[in-house]
Amino acid sequence: MVSRVIPVDVFDLVIFGATGDLARRKLLPALFRRMRDGQMPGESRIIGVARRDMEADEFRNFVRDALEEFEPEAAEAPDVLKAFLGALDYLVVDVRGDAGWEALKAMLRPDIVRAFYLSVGPSLFGEIATRLKKHAIAIPESRIVVEKPLGHDLASAKALNARLGACFDEHQIYRIDHYLGKETVQNLMAIRFANALFEPLWNGQYVDHVQITVAERIGVEGRGGYYDKSGALRDMVQNHMMQLLCLTAMEPPAKFNADFVRDEKLKVIRALVPANPQSTVRGQYRAGDGEGGYLDHAENPDSNTESFIALKVEIESWRWAGVPFYLRTGKRLRARMSEIVVVFKKPPHAIFPEMAQQGSNELVIRLQPDEGITLNMTIKEPGPGGMRLTEVPLDMSFAEALGAGHHVPDAYERLIMDVIRGDQTLFMRGDELEEAWAWIDPLVAAWEENGARPKPYDTGSSGPEDALALLHKDGRKWREIES
Ligand code: NAP
Confidence at residue 408, expressed as pLDDT on a 0 to 100 scale? 76
22 Cα to the center of ligand 1, angstroms: 7
Residue 242 Cα to ligand 1 middle (Å): 25
Nearest CA to ligand 1 atom 1: 20
Give which of 227, 470, 457, 230 is closest to 333, Cα–Cα: 457
Same domain, 207 and 143: no
| Domain-located, residue 338 | yes
Q: Look at residues 344, 439, 421, 354 and name the one whose alpha carbon lies nearest to residue 389.
A: 354
- Which residues contact ligand 1 via a Cβ below 6 A? 17-23, 50-52, 93-96, 119-122, 124, 147-149
Atom of ligand 1 nearest to the CA of 149: 34
Q: Whose CA is nearest to atom 37 of ligand 1?
A: 22
| Residue to mutate (ligand 1; options 26, 120, 230; most atoms within 8 A of CB) | 120
Distance CA(350)–CA(455), nearest Å, equals: 40
| Atom 11 of ligand 1, residue of closest alpha carbon | 50
Question: What 3-state class would DSSP assign to 405?
Answer: coil
Instruction: Give yes or no for a contact between 174 and 424, defined as CB atoms under 8 angstroms apart.
Output: yes
- Ligand 1 mutation pick, 15, 16, 21, max ligand atoms within 8 A of CB: 21
Identify whether 398 is part of a domain: yes
Contacts of 222 (CB under 8 A, 6+ apart): none
Name the residue with the closest Cα to ligand 1, atom 38.
22
Distance 119 CA to ligand 1 centre (A): 5
Q: Are strands 173-176 and 207-215 parallel, antiparallel or unpaired?
A: unpaired
**137 and 191 assigned to the same domain:** no
Sign (positive/negative) of CA torsion 107, 176, 483, 292? positive
Report if residue 70 sits inside a domain. yes
The answer to whether residue 61 sits within a structural domain is yes
Q: What is the CATH number of the domain that holds 200?
A: 3.30.360.10
Between helices 430-450 and 154-165, what is the axis angle to 10°? 160
Q: What is the CA radius of gyration of the chain?
A: 24
Instruction: Pick the atom of ligand 1 nearest to 96's CA.
Output: 18
- Paired with 309 in beta bridges are 282, 329
Say if residues 461 and 334 touch (Cβ distance below 8 Å). Answer: yes
How many whole angstroms from 26 Cα to the centroid of ligand 1?
12
Active site residues: 240
How many independent structural domains does the chain possess? 2
User: Residue 449, exposed/middle/buried by CB under 10 A (0-12, 13-18, 19+)?
Assistant: exposed
- pLDDT confidence of residue 445: 97
**Who contacts 245 (Cβ-Cβ below 8 Å, separation ≥6)?**
210, 212, 268, 313, 325, 327
* Residue of minimum CA distance from atom 39 in ligand 1: 22
pLDDT for the residue 403: 63
- Domain end, chosen from 132, 147, 162, is at 147
DSSP 157-214: HHHHHHHHHTTS-GGGEEEE-GGGGSHHHHHHHHHHHS-TTTGGG-STTTEEEEEEEE
Say whether both 132 and 185 belong to one domain. Answer: no
CA distances from 279 to 276, 325, 353 (A): 5, 11, 35
Helix (H) or strand (E) holding 128: helix 125-134
In a domain, 438, yes or no: yes
Which of 96, 86, 103, 179 has its CA nearest to residue 130?
A: 96
Minimum-distance ligand 1 atom for the alpha carbon of 122 = 32
> Does 152 fall in a domain?
no
- Comparing CA positions, the residue from 74, 95, 106 lying closest to residue 16 is 95
Distance 124 CA to ligand 1 centre (A): 10
C-alpha 113 to ligand 1 mean position (Å): 24
What is the number of the ligand 1 atom nearest to the C-alpha of 26? Answer: 40
Atom 30 of ligand 1, residue of closest alpha carbon: 119
Test site for ligand 1: of 26, 119, 227, most ligand atoms within 8 A of the Cβ: 119
Tell me: cis bond preceding 149? Omega within 30 of 0 counts.
yes
Residues in Cβ contact with 195 at an 8 Å cutoff, skipping those fewer than 6 apart = none
Residue 164 near residue 146 (C-beta atoms within 8 A): yes
Q: pTM of this prediction?
A: 0.95
**138 and 82, same domain (yes or no):** yes
Atom of ligand 1 nearest to the CA of 16: 21
Report the separation in Å between the CA atom of 237 and the middle of ligand 1, taken as the mean of its atom positions.
22
Q: Which residues of the chain have pLDDT under 70?
A: 1-3, 398-406
Cα angle, residue 233 at apex, residues 425 and 331 outer, rounded to 5°: 105
End position of a domain, from candidates 130, 147, 164? 147
Residues 130, 205 within the same domain: no
Q: Which of 93, 123, 147 is the last residue of a domain?
A: 147
337 by DSSP, 3-state: which?
Answer: strand
Residue 156 belongs to a domain: no
Residue nearest to atom 22 of ligand 1 (CA): 50
Q: Looking at residue 30, which CATH number applies to its domain?
A: 3.40.50.720
Q: Ligand 1 atom closest to Cα of 94?
A: 19
Which residue has the least CA distance to atom 40 on ligand 1? 22
Q: Whole-angstrom Cα distance, residue 66 to residue 279?
A: 44
Both 225 and 269 in one domain: the answer is yes
**CA–CA separation, 290 and 460 (whole Å):** 12
Per-residue confidence (pLDDT) for residue 2, from 0 to 100: 52
What range does the domain containing 60 cover? 11-147
Quick one: 36 and 110 in the same domain? yes
Distance in Å, CA 310 to ligand 1 centroid:
30
Continuous segment of H or E residues that includes residue 375: strand 372-380
Task: Look at residue 420 and tell me if it is in a domain.
Answer: no
Beta strands in 40-194 (DSSP E): 45-50, 88-92, 113-118, 143-147, 173-176
Give the list of residues 6+ apart from residue 197 with CB closer than 8 angstroms, or none: none
> Do 266 and 128 belong together in one domain?
no
